[in-house]
Amino acid sequence: MGWMQDETGLDKCAANYVALTPLSHLRRAADVFADRTAVIYGDHRVTYAEYFDRCTRLASALAAAGVNPGEVVATLIPNLPAQAEAHFGVPACAAVLNTINTRLDVGTIAYIFDHGGAKIVLVDTQFIELAEAACAQMDGTPPHIIEVPDAAAGFPATDRHPVYEEILASADPAYSWHMPQDEWESLALNYTSGTTGRPKGVVYHHRGAYLMTMGTVISWRMTLHPVFMQIVPLFHCNGWNHTWMMPLIGGTLVCCRDITAAAIYDAIADHGVTHFGGAPIVLNLIVNADARREFSHTVEVFTAGAPPAPATLSKIEALGFNVTQVYGLTETYGHVTECIWRGDWDDLTSSEKAAIKARQGVAFPMMEHITVMDADMAQTPRNGAAQGEIMMRGNAVMKGYLKNPDATKKAFAGGYFHSGDIAVQHPDGYIQIADRAKDIIISGGENISSVEVEGVLMGHPDVNLAAVVAKPDEKWGEVPCAFVELKPNATADETALIAFARETLAGFKAPKQIVFCELPKTSTGKIQKFELRKLAAEL
């Protein structure tokens, strides 16, 4: 140990220690990248200097309106400039940002307003009546509404509330940002999309978001000045923290109100989009688009939310997109594992490559340990067959659930966050999801992975989307039931699809019934299996 035993005078001080926060990225970018384009949305284009000014004015306006440090400011806004500005402006006045899913029902939004204690809510005009109705249903004091109109999209101001742009215009541009003194301070509050009971409030800290942005740059192999299209909703894990990340590397954020294949192709062709993230349903939009725009560069894509079908991965890569499978949860700020590509896989067939790319992979750099464990929290054999639960620890794990210490304690039992996702681990350490625990189908004592069956069905040329759930059965207890969305003008019928599945799957794994319908989805494109389970129980 020697001389290092005496550390007199080696203390933290203002010169050598600063609390980690993503706010630092934009403060730096306002100087280093002052004249570079920061945000694009239709005719709205601002430089980093202007972006910083707008976020500063927002922070000033919120503080002037009586928002105190640690209080909550909510939003009900699509992926638009004001939503991006809130990611910096709200914490810049030391408040906590609560981005709310715009597709929730009135009762759930009223609950979130009450539970989170929002002082102010920024609301896109499209959702003003939703916000007003939620305020009317609250038990506590409703938040003050600031309206964010979007006249160009057909949503002019209602004149019932203060207007966002007018508030920014009258705010103080010299307002001094409140930087966190402790990086453990709360940065954001995100509510889970729980399918049963009330959603839980997941609390993020500044440190986790900062390190998430750093780890993502490395894992996505990013260099300076990417053009990033914000497809993942900013109310979902704060868009996987990508909007906080863009100023770090002087990137341009392309906002989009409605996610369509045409909007994606236009953004790539017109703005040179180089990166975006999205659920597998977004990949399907791109693959099945009737009209496509030409582009010459490779677009890097992070996909998550459900394992993409190998058939979808094969098709989209031929169109100029390089897809990396990532995995995470609201409780982990978004993605925390990635399927890093290895050079020795280059010579595999396209179908073999796609099967590997569907794996969830290994830990991001900001995570300490992610693995698969059994019910006793012992490491499962890394043989690609033994199933267990994905467990994780590291800097991109939430502080906990707001006002719910019991749920927090349960989630962190044994020093790891328990994901609830069932997976196998391959000999090389790569994790591959088998299913959510509740989505495993147990038929005659045999476990059936709904993900496996879905992947086979998605390989049929007529199938657009497929979801498989358990259907009660007198003899077997449960059997697989498939809900299938066909492509336009497709002709496949139930008998043909079941026969197609049996070509690959063991007989007991093949679906016993197929229902053709439009699949119910969340706002992030995840298929709502709990709705399908209800339907299957009634068949």
- Count up the domains in the chain and report the number: 3
User: What is each CA distance from 129 to 114, 228, 254, in whole angstroms?
Assistant: 18, 31, 27
In this structure, the answer to whether residues 131 and 278 fall within a common structural domain is no
Q: Pick from 437, 452, 472: which residue ends a domain?
A: 437
Instruction: Say how far apart CA 393 and CA 415 lie, in whole Å.
Output: 7
Question: What is residue 381's predicted lDDT score, i.e. its pLDDT?
Answer: 98
Q: Could you tell me if residue 37 is inside a domain?
A: no
In this structure, the answer to whether residues 312 and 431 fall within a common structural domain is yes
Instruction: Say how far apart CA 125 and CA 212 lie, in whole Å.
Output: 32
In this structure, the answer to whether residues 365 and 432 fall within a common structural domain is yes
Q: Answer for the pair 481, 513: CB distance below 8 angstroms, yes or no.
A: yes
Task: State the average pLDDT over residues 206-225.
Answer: 97
CATH number at residue 300: 3.40.50.12780
In this structure, the answer to whether residues 286 and 420 fall within a common structural domain is yes
Query: Does pLDDT of 475 surpass 80?
Result: no
> pTM here?
0.87
Give me the domain span that covers residue 421: 259-437
Buried b (16+ CB within 10 A) or exposed e, 463-489: bbbbbbbbbeeeebebbbbbbbbbeee
In this structure, the answer to whether residues 389 and 402 fall within a common structural domain is yes
Task: State the average pLDDT over residues 353-358.
Answer: 84
In this structure, the answer to whether residues 273 and 368 fall within a common structural domain is yes
% of the chain with per-residue pLDDT over 90: 77
Question: What is residue 3's predicted lDDT score, i.e. its pLDDT?
Answer: 58
Q: Could you tell me if residue 319 is inside a domain?
A: yes
Instruction: Say how far apart CA 130 and CA 147 lie, in whole Å.
Output: 12
In this structure, the answer to whether residues 99 and 134 fall within a common structural domain is yes
Average predicted confidence (pLDDT) for the chain: 93
Q: Could you tell me if residue 19 is inside a domain?
A: no
Buried b (16+ CB within 10 A) or exposed e, 133-144: ebbeebeeebbb
- The model's pLDDT over 442-457, given as tens digits with 9 standing for 90+, comes to 787 677 878 889 988 9
> Can you give 262-294 as a three-state secondary structure string?
HHHHHHHHHHCCCEEEECHHHHHHHHCCCCCCC
Query: Does pLDDT of 309 surpass 60?
Result: yes
- The model's pLDDT over 101-137, given as tens digits with 9 standing for 90+, comes to 898 889 889 999 999 999 999 999 999 999 999 999 9
Q: Could you tell me if residue 250 is inside a domain?
A: no
- The model's pLDDT over 494-531, given as tens digits with 9 standing for 90+, comes to 999 999 999 988 788 899 999 999 999 876 677 888 89
In this structure, the answer to whether residues 288 and 350 fall within a common structural domain is yes
In this structure, the answer to whether residues 398 and 451 fall within a common structural domain is no
In this structure, the answer to whether residues 273 and 377 fall within a common structural domain is yes
Instruction: Say how far apart CA 372 and CA 439 lie, in whole Å.
Output: 17
Q: Answer for the pair 478, 499: CB distance below 8 angstroms, yes or no.
A: no
Q: Could you tell me if residue 455 is inside a domain?
A: yes
In this structure, the answer to whether residues 357 and 503 fall within a common structural domain is no
Q: Pick from 402, 437, 472: which residue ends a domain?
A: 437
> Can you give 319-362 as a three-state secondary structure string?
CCEEEEEEEEEHHHCEEEEECCCCHHHCCCCHHHHHHHHCCCEE
Confidence of residue 352 (pLDDT cuts 50, 70, 90): confident
- The model's pLDDT over 405-428, given as tens digits with 9 standing for 90+, comes to 999 999 999 999 999 999 999 999
Query: Does pLDDT of 195 surpass 50?
Result: no
Q: Answer for the pair 298, 272: CB distance below 8 angstroms, yes or no.
A: no
Q: Could you tell me if residue 247 is inside a domain?
A: no
Instruction: Say how far apart CA 406 and CA 399 lie, in whole Å.
Output: 13
CATH number at residue 455: 3.30.300.30
Any idea which residue has 């007991």 for tokens? 508
Query: Does pLDDT of 233 surpass 80?
Result: yes
Q: Pick from 391, 412, 437: which residue ends a domain?
A: 437
Q: Could you tell me if residue 417 is inside a domain?
A: yes
